[in-house]
């Protein structure tokens, strides 16, 4: 929607990795230097870590575009939780080898034969593993064994490991990974972008899709966008997408800080709303089979909810009565001594009551929305 309104040729802040949008931030330039050095060595392990959305996949996609496919064969894996046997079969599959039903030893033999064939054809193999934090320690040790495959004195495969910060911690501290650590020839941890990089990052991505200055951005937006996103590229993209959408809806040619704050409030409210509710509220198909049984569920839950509220109110009343009794029963000296504690208890009760009131109101609103939606679905189903 907003790309048409602003005359853009594409989506500048898409969340999926695209090497065309690679931005040379300070930390990404450093990472690319480490990658270049590591690849030039042609052996061992290269490790790139970073927070979710820090740009690891985009960085690697950009790097892979520069590789000579006649000299390097890339096998790529996005891991789930794999053990040492599973990782062997997944690596083989990433190389195009059919090892289904084969045992581990046979799969290893197939991998080694493939590596030798590639070497004889003048190519070396780069294994890229994303989400490496999901790998078990034995699986990582199995990967280390692949680095033993050689043709003469030349290693046949190099491995690039991408992972979240916990993978970095595992790699640094697990005693069972000492031999793998010794084979890491380059490593870099991607840091968030700096505050001064937000503006050039936004402009860089907009210019990639033909931006001509519309919309314009107030300078304050960049500073507040950095604070809201922490400098993580994917978070910047999420917020910027919503900003441009709001700008298109309101037909604004300038994005200001008030619009950003409005977007941030909306995003915060969405995170606080029950995860299933948005999709449920958007559901319009009259064939929704569970509708007939569902209305009884909120009614039962409402009874339980009312009972819980009654119990809570009784507990608060008991606490208030205890405070009154303590105040009435003590003599002057004791009353003077415990007065601060009594006052503190009163304040705590007041805070509890206020918090409970807000929680009760939110829950009632959510239940009311759910019941209204179910009833409307029932009416639609009957009408159909």
Pairwise pLDDT comparison (53 vs 294), residue with the higher score: 53
Task: Identify the band that residue 363 occupies on the pLDDT scale cut at 50, 70 and 90.
Answer: low
Inform me whether the pLDDT recorded for 355 exceeds 70.
no
- Candidate from 142-151, 157-166, 188-197, 253-262 with smallest mean pLDDT: 142-151
Residue 84 has what pLDDT? 85
- Which of 279-313 are b and which e, b meaning 16 or more Cβ less than 10 Å from the residue's Cβ? eeeeeeeeebeebeebeeebeeeeeeeeeeeeeee
Task: Identify the band that residue 78 occupies on the pLDDT scale cut at 50, 70 and 90.
Answer: confident
135-162 mean pLDDT:
90
Which residues partner with 163 through β-bridges?
49
Domain ranges of the chain: 2-15+194-272, 26-190, 289-383
Residue 320 has what pLDDT? 56
Residue 90 has what pLDDT? 92
Q: How far apart, in whole angstroms, are the C-alpha atoms of residue 14 and residue 302?
A: 41
Q: How far apart, in whole angstroms, are the C-alpha atoms of residue 40 and residue 67?
A: 11
Inform me whether the pLDDT recorded for 349 exceeds 70.
no
Query: CATH second-level architecture of 2-15+194-272?
Result: Orthogonal Bundle (1.10)
Residue 273, CA distances (Å) to 245, 277, 318, 337 in order:
21, 7, 33, 46
Pairwise pLDDT comparison (308 vs 231), residue with the higher score: 231
Residue 269 has what pLDDT? 85
Query: CATH second-level architecture of 26-190?
Result: 3-Layer(aba) Sandwich (3.40)
Question: Over the stretch 248-262, which tens digit does the pLDDT of each residue have?
Answer: 999 999 999 999 999
Q: How far apart, in whole angstroms, are the C-alpha atoms of residue 14 and residue 243?
A: 13
Q: What are phi and psi of 277, to 5 degrees?
A: -65, -45
Residue 326 has what pLDDT? 54
DSSP state string for 45-63 = EEEEEE-TTSSHHHHHHHH
269-282 mean pLDDT:
48
Predicted structure pTM score: 0.67
Inform me whether the pLDDT recorded for 68 exceeds 80.
yes
């Amino acid at each position: 929607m907003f790309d048409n309104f602003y005359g853009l040729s594409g989506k500048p802040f898409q969340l999926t990795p695209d090497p065309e949008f690679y931005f040379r931030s300070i930390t990404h330039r450093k990472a690319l230097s480490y990658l270049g050095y590591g690849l030039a060595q042609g052996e061992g392990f290269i490790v790139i870590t970073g927070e979710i959305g820090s740009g690891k996949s985009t960085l690697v996609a950009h790097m892979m575009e520069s590789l000579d496919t006649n000299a390097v064969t890339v096998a790529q894996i996005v891991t789930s939780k794999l053990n040492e046997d599973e990782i062997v079969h997944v690596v083989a599959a990433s190389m195009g080898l059919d090892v289904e039903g084969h045992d581990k030893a046979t799969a290893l033999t197939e991998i080694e034969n493939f590596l030798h064939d590639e070497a004889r054809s003048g190519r070396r193999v780069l294994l890229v593993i994303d989400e490496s934090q999901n790998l078990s320690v034995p699986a990582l040790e199995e990967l280390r064994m692949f680095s033993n495959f050689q043709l003469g004195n030349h290693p046949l495969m190099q491995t690039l490991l991408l992972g979240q910060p916990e993978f970095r911690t595992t790699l640094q501290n697990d005693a069972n990974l000492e031999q793998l650590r010794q084979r890491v020839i380059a490593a870099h941890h991607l840091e968030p972008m700096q505050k001064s990089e937000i503006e050039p990052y936004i402009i860089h991505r907009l210019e990639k899709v033909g931006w001509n200055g519309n919309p314009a951005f107030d300078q304050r937006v960049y500073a507040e966008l950095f604070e809201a996103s922490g400098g993580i590229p994917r978070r910047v993209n999420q917020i910027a997408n919503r900003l441009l959408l709001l700008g298109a809806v309101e037909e604004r040619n300038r994005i200001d800080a008030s619009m950003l704050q409005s977007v941030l409030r909306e995003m915060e409210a969405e995170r606080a709303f029950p995860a299933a509710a948005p999709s449920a509220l958007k559901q319009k198909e009259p064939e929704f089979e569970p509708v007939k049984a569902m209305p009884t569920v909120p009614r039962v839950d409402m009874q339980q909810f009312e009972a819980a509220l009654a119990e809570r109110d009784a507990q608060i009343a008991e606490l208030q009565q205890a405070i009154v009794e303590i105040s009435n029963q003590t003599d002057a000296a004791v009353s003077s001594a415990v007065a601060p504690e009594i006052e503190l208890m009163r304040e705590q009760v007041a805070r509890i009551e206020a918090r409970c009131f807000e929680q009760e109101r939110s829950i009632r609103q959510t239940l009311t929305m759910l019941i209204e939606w179910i009833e409307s679905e029932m009416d639609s189903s009957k009408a159909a």
